[in-house]
Structure 1
Amino acid sequence: MRKQMATVAPAIAMTVVSMVLTLAVVVMWLGSSMPWPIALVVGLGLDGGWLATLAYERRLAAQGDHNNAVTTVGWGFGLVATGVLVAHALGEESTGAWLAVSWLPIAAKALWLVHGLWERTALTPVALDAIRGIQQEARDEAAVARALLRAQAGTEETRLTAVTEAGARVARIQAETAERLSSAWSTLEAARQGEGTARALTCVTDRVTPGSQPRWELPVWGPYEPVRALENPPALSDAELDRIVTELRTSQTPPLSYRELSLRFRAAGHSASETRLRAAWRRVTATAS
C-alpha cells in the first residue's frame, strides 16, 4: 500500500492543483465578458469532464482493460486545460509566472500514466516472497558450490604436495642407495684387481687346485634357481669335468655363460666345487679361443 501511495499521491495532488488553476483561470478569463456563475459552470464542466474521463480510465485499468478512445479524450481534456492556462498567461503581465504552472495538467496526466504502468507491473506480497525465496536459494547454492570447489582445490593441493614430497624423498633415498652400491662395487673391484688378492687366494687354494691361477670374480647380480642337494655326489676328474663343461657350453648357440652353465651343471646331477668348476670353465674357454 505504501508503494502504491508513492505513485498515486503525486498524481492526485497535481490533478487537484491543475483543476483548481484551470477553474480559477476560466473564471478570471470569462468573468469579464459573462456573469461569473456561468464562467464557474464552464470551468467546472472542463474539470468535471477531465475528472470523469480519468475516473473511467482508472476503472478500466482496475479491470485490466484499456480503451484508446477514453485515453484520447483524457489527453484531450489535459491539452485543453493546458491551452487555457497558456492563453491566459500570454494575456497577463506576469507571463512567466503563469507559463510556469501551465504544464501542470499535462504533468498530472503523465503521473497517472506512470501510476498505471506501476499497477500493471506490481506483484502481490506472496509473489514477492516467492521471488525472494528463489533468489536466496540460488545465492545459497552458489555459496555452497564455491565452498565445495575451494575445499576440493585445497584437498588436491595438499595431495599434490604430499605426493611431490614423497617422490622427492624416494628419489633421494634411491640416489643415496645407488651411491652406496657404487662405492661398495668400486671397493670390490679394487680388491679384485689388487695384486695382493691373487697372492692371498693362491695361498688358500694352492693345495686344492695345484697349478691353477685363482682369480676372485665379482658376484653376479640377478635371479637364481635353487638346485636340489645331491647325496654322495660322484667325484669328477679334471678331464671329465672339462668334457662336461665343454658339452654344456656348446649345447646351444651362442655358447652358455658361466652362470647358465653352472646352473645346468648342477641340475644335471654333477658335483664339483666352485673353484674347480670355474677353473674348468677357464680351461675350456681358453682352448676354444
Structure 2
Amino acid sequence: MKKQLATAAPAVAVTVVSMVLTLAVVVMWLGGSMPWPITLVVGLGLDGGWLATLAYERRLAAQGDHSTPVTVVGWVFGLAATGVLVAHALGEESTGAWLAVSWLPLGAKLLWLVHGMWERTALTPVALDAIRGIQQEARDEAAVARARLRAQAGTEETRLTAVTEAGSRVARVQAKTAERLSGAWATLEAARQGEGTARALTCVTERVTPGAQPSWELPVWSAAEARALLESAPALSDTDIEWIVTDIIGTEAQKGRSVSYREVATLFREAGHSASETRLRAAWRRVTTTAS
C-alpha cells in the first residue's frame, strides 16, 4: 500500500495543480471576450473531460483491462490543456514563467502512465516472500556447493602431497639401494681382478691345477620376476642339476662354443630351472672335472 501511494500521490498532485491552472488560464484568457460564467464552464468542461477519461482508464486498469480509444481521448484532453497553457503563455509579458508550467497536463498523464505500469508489475507480499525464499535457497545451495568444492580440492591436494612424498621416499630408497649394490658389485669385481686373488685361491682351492691360473666368477642375479618364477618351480636334485648342466654344455659345444660358469648359470635360469648358487656351482665343477 505504501509503495502504491509512492507512485499515485505525485500523479494525483500534478493532476490537481494542472486542472486548477488550466481552469484559471481559461478564465483569465477568455474573461475579456465573454462572460466569466461561460469561461468557467469551458474550463470545467476541459478539466471534466480529462478527469472523466482518467477515471475510466483507472477503472479499466483495476479490472485488468485496457481501452485504446479511451486512452487516445485522454491524451487529446491532455494535449488540449497543454495547448491552452502554451497559447496563453505566448500572449503574456512573462512568457517564460507561463511556459514553465505549461507541461503540467502532459506531466500528469505521464505520471499516471508510470503508476499504471507499476500496478501491472506489482506482486503480492506472498509472491515476494516466495521469490525471496527461492533466492535464498539458491544462495544457500551455491554456498554449499562452493564449500564442497573447496573441501574436495583440499582433500585432493593433501592426497597428492602424500603420494608425492611417498614416491619421493621410495625413489630415495631405491637410489640408495642401487648405490649400495653398485658399490658391492664394484668391490666384488675389484676382488676378482685383483693380483692376490689367484694366490688366495691356490691356498684354499683343492682342485687347482699346478701352474694354472685360478679364477672365480661373480654371482649371477636375475630379475625379480624371474626369481619369483624360479622360486615357484619344483626343487631339483643334484643329479638333475648335473644332467641339465651337462646338456647345456653339450649343446653349446655342438655350436662350437666353450661356456663359462656364468654363461651356464644364465642359460640354466633362462630355461626356467631353479637352484641355489652353491649347488649349481658344485654341479658345474663336477661336470667340468669329470669331462676333463
TM-score range, shorter chain: 0.7 to 0.9
**Amino acid in structure 1 at the alignment position of 2:265:** R
Are residues 1:19 and 2:19 paired? yes
Residue 174 of structure 1: aligned partner = 174
**Residue 277 of structure 1 is aligned with which of 280, 284, 288?**
284
Aligned length: 269
User: Structure 2 regions of 5+ residues with no counterpart?
Assistant: none
Letter in 2 for 1:121: T
Partner of 1:110: 110
Query: What CA distance in whole angstroms lies between the structure 1 residues aligned with 2:120 and 2:62?
Result: 9
Alpha-carbon distance change, 262 to 79 in structure 1, aligned in 2, over 3 angstroms: closer
Is 1:258 the counterpart of 2:245? The answer is no
Q: Residue 67 of structure 2 corresponds to which residue in structure 1?
A: 67
- Any stretches of 5+ residues in structure 1 without a counterpart? 234-240
Over 3 Å counting, the alpha-carbon distance change for 1:280 and 1:163 in structure 2 is same
| Deviation of the 1:182 alpha carbon | 0.5
TM-score for the superposition, normalised by structure 2:
0.80
Alignment match, 1:237: none
Distance 1:247 1:100, change over 3 A: closer
What is the match of residue 145 of structure 1?
145
Following superposition, the deviation at residue 219 of structure 1 comes to 1.3
Deviation at residue 37 of structure 1 after TM alignment = 2.4
TM-score (norm 1): 0.81
Cα distance, 1:259 vs structure 2: 2.3
Q: Hey, what does 2:53 align to over in structure 1? A: 53
Cα distance, 1:247 vs structure 2: 4.9
Distance between the aligned counterparts of 1:73 and 1:83, measured in 2? 15
Tell me how far 1:77 sits from its aligned partner. Answer: 0.9
Task: Give the superposition deviation at 1:183.
Answer: 0.4
Aligned-pair distance for 1:2? 1.4
1:97 aligned partner:
97
Offset of residue 213 of structure 1:
5.2
**Counterpart of 1:281 in structure 2: which amino acid?**
T
Describe the shift of the 1:201–1:67 C-alpha distance in structure 2 as closer, same or farther (beyond 3 A): same
Equivalent residue letter for 1:173: V
In the TM superposition, residue 70 of structure 1 has moved relative to its aligned partner by 0.7
> Within 2, Cα distance between the matches of 1:28 and 1:138?
63
